[in-house]
Amino acid sequence: MLDLDAFKNTRLYESIVAKTEPETKLKLAPKCVEKGMSIQEIAEFLELDVEIIKKYLQEQS
């Protein structure tokens, strides 16, 4: 499983988050699900609300 805390402390993560719109972040959600991440983990990783992630994933299926 991904160590989110370690990844969040990288410059790569910071640059992605700083430049990324919520709609763009949501496009990563299906890949995160494929990697076995929970909705809560995805929301924390993408810094978005859990309900937004749920709604987006429902719309994609």
Which position has the higher pLDDT, 22 or 2?
A: 22
Rounded CA-CA distance 59/44 in Å is: 20
User: Domain 4-60 is of which CATH architecture?
Assistant: Orthogonal Bundle (1.10)
Least confident span in 11-15, 29-33, 35-39, 49-53: 11-15
d(CA 28, CA 46): 8
Place of tokens 């805390």: 5
pLDDT tens per residue across span 3-15? 778 888 888 877 7
Q: How far is CA 13 from CA 19, 21, 55, 57, 61, in A?
A: 10, 14, 24, 22, 27
Would you list the domain boundaries of the chain? 4-60
Asked if the model's pLDDT at residue 24 lies above 80, the reply is yes
Q: Compute the half-sphere exposure of residue 52: CA atoms within 13 Å on the CB side of its CA.
A: 15
